[in-house]
Amino acid sequence: MRTDQPAPMSRHSTLPTVDVEGAHAPTLVAVGRSGAGLAARLRAAWPGSRLVLGGRVARLGAGVPDDVADDVAAAVGRLFRAGQPLVLFLPVGAAVRLLAPHLGDKAIDPPAVCVDEAGRFAVALVGGRRGGANALARRIAAALGARPVITSAAEALGLPALDLLGRAQGWTLEASEAALTRAEAALVSGEPVGYYQDAGERLLRAGRPAWLSRWTSLAALAAAPLAVRLVISDRRRMELPPRDDWLVYRPRTVVVGLGCARGAATAEIERLVDEALRQANVAPQAVRAVATIDLKAEEPGLREVIARHGWPLVTYGAAELAAVPGRYERSAMVERAVGTPAVAAPAALLAAGAGRLLLPKLRSKHVTAALARVPSRQARCAKPLRARIASP
């Protein structure tokens, strides 16, 4: 069943998108005296950026470069293939000719921005939204007093970047490149978009744009006359029709609490975590963190599991876990061994900031697991709350 009708408003979206202003510092390439001066100004304003000057302008003493390239085309190609963000102080045509032989997949190409010798325009040339060139162009323009030139269709129209939707909140996207391309084309063409959401931060923080409708069930969303269907869910099992107009987003809403015996095998930990997620109908992509007692932070099997999935590991002291209230199983034997009557359940509750468990406890011979869902008011923060985080 469909809920309230969308309110009329402009096509400018209030959907959450990723902030890519913190991209890697770029390499600045200049071949003319004016461009070299602009590049030097930008390097001074951007810690970590590097200045590469063409051999001729370097020999004229135009600035103090980090590197000199007698063969600028070869240098640009090498940097681009290495994934280095580039700022080219060149005419657009020259920049295109330098980059063209090295262009590959837009999903992985690094950003490249072109700045004219007068410093009037910063043109996002390659890697617009997804690669971060649009944000890079804005930052360069702000530093140089230039005008950013953004030609990505969706951004120019004030529409959301479907591939970046919710990434600032840690969401992941499940969709083929072909499906994403078709969805973006439909969005730019003004075709209707609908969504269903049962987990994570609310998709809309303000009024709903006229082209977007919300649906209260997957069945209703599937039956609606829509060009694009967005599903925002942490559910593992969903009955979706085998069509290519679905984009599935996974908010990170669930914390896995784990306890294990010393030397517990990786395979046993992996099996129990997977079974816990299966029983709770939670997608692995929805795991926000794994939480345990600090005594287990260096367990090889545990470290291997979190490394495989890219999950953060959150650890707590025994006293912190022992103080967590709630209805969960406590063991005097566990307390004698590690100083707290339980590990998995209180660790999950503490890391999630939750009052109750999604899955109280699951046990194998050497491992225990529990699940807690992050309350929606806290799902806006992409990192676990009140946590000491150990990198995998």
**What stretch(es) of the chain map to CATH 3.40.50.11220?**
27-156
Mean pLDDT value of segment 65-81: 88
pLDDT, position 7: 30
Residue 253: the pLDDT is: 92
Higher pLDDT, 154 or 34: 34
Question: Residue with structure tokens 């950013």?
Answer: 148
- Structure tokens of 216? 């209260």
Q: Are 85 and 48 in contact (CB under 8 A)?
A: no
Question: DSSP letters of 241-268?
Answer: -S-SSEEEEE---EEEEEEE-TT--HHH
In 3D, which of 136, 145, 119, 102 has the Cα closest to residue 27? Answer: 136
pLDDT band at residue 21 using 50, 70 and 90 as cut-offs? very low
Query: Each residue of 297-321: pLDDT tens digit?
Result: 899 999 999 999 999 999 999 999 9
Contact 221, 195 (CB under 8 A): yes
Q: Which CATH number fits domain 27-156: 3.40.50.11220, 3.40.50.300, 1.10.760.10, 3.40.50.2300?
A: 3.40.50.11220
- The count of C-alpha atoms lying within 13 angstroms of the C-alpha of 316, restricted to the half-sphere facing its C-beta, is 31
Report which residue type is found at 258.
L
Q: pLDDT band for 380, please (50, 70, 90 cuts).
A: very low
Q: Which of 28-32, 181-185, 199-203 has the highest mean pLDDT?
A: 28-32
**How far from each other are the two terminal CA atoms of the chain, in whole angstroms?**
43
- At residue 112 the predicted structure's pLDDT band, cuts being 50, 70 and 90, is very high
Instruction: Indicate whether 110 pLDDT > 50.
Output: yes
- Contact assessment for residue 33 and residue 62, using Cβ atoms and an 8 Å cutoff: yes
Q: Are 86 and 101 in contact (CB under 8 A)?
A: no
Give the pLDDT confidence score for residue 62 in this predicted structure.
62
Residue-level pLDDT at 323 = 86
* Cα separation, 177 vs 341, whole angstroms: 48
Residues of the chain with CATH 3.30.420.180: 254-390
Instruction: Taking residues 14-31, report their average pLDDT.
Output: 60
The pair of three-digit structure tokens given for residue 175, joined into one six-digit string = 């969709």
- Residue 185: the pLDDT is 84
Average pLDDT over residues 268-273: 96
Residue 114 vs residue 188, higher pLDDT: 114
Confidence of residue 365 (pLDDT cuts 50, 70, 90): very high
C-alpha distance from residue 108 to each of 4, 82, 115, 126, 137 (Å) = 39, 11, 22, 11, 18
Between CA 252 and CA 380 the distance in angstroms is: 10
The reported pLDDT for the residue numbered 255 is 95
CATH code reported for the domain at 254-390: 3.30.420.180
Q: What percent of the chain has pLDDT over 90?
A: 41
- Please say if the pLDDT value at position 97 is more than 80: yes
Across 97-121, average pLDDT: 88
Tens-place pLDDT, residues 311-361: 999 999 999 998 888 777 788 888 788 778 898 999 999 999 877 899 998
Q: What is the separation of C-alpha 150 from the centre of its chain, rounded to a whole number of angstroms?
A: 22
Most confident of 163-177, 242-256, 279-293: 279-293
* Residues in a beta bridge with 88: 29, 114
Read off the pLDDT of residues 82-92 as tens digits, 9 standing for 90 and up.
889 999 999 99
Q: Has residue 129 got a pLDDT over 70?
A: no
User: How far, in Å, CA of 144 to CA of 45, rounded?
Assistant: 9
Instruction: Give the C-alpha separation, 270 to 149, whole Å.
Output: 48
The stretch 171-179 carries a mean pLDDT of 85
Per-residue pLDDT tens digits for 24-67: 789 999 988 899 989 999 998 888 889 989 888 777 766 677 88
Does the pLDDT of residue 194 top 50, yes or no?
A: yes
Q: Which amino acid is at 337?
A: A
100's CB contacts (< 8 A; 6+ apart) are none
Residue 298, φ and ψ in degrees, nearest 5: -110, 15
Give the strands of the sheet with 254-260, arranged side by side.
359-363, 367-373, 254-260, 287-293, 313-316, 388-390
Q: Would you list the DSSP string of 58-93?
A: HHTT-S--SEEESSHHHHHHHHHHTT--EEEES-HH
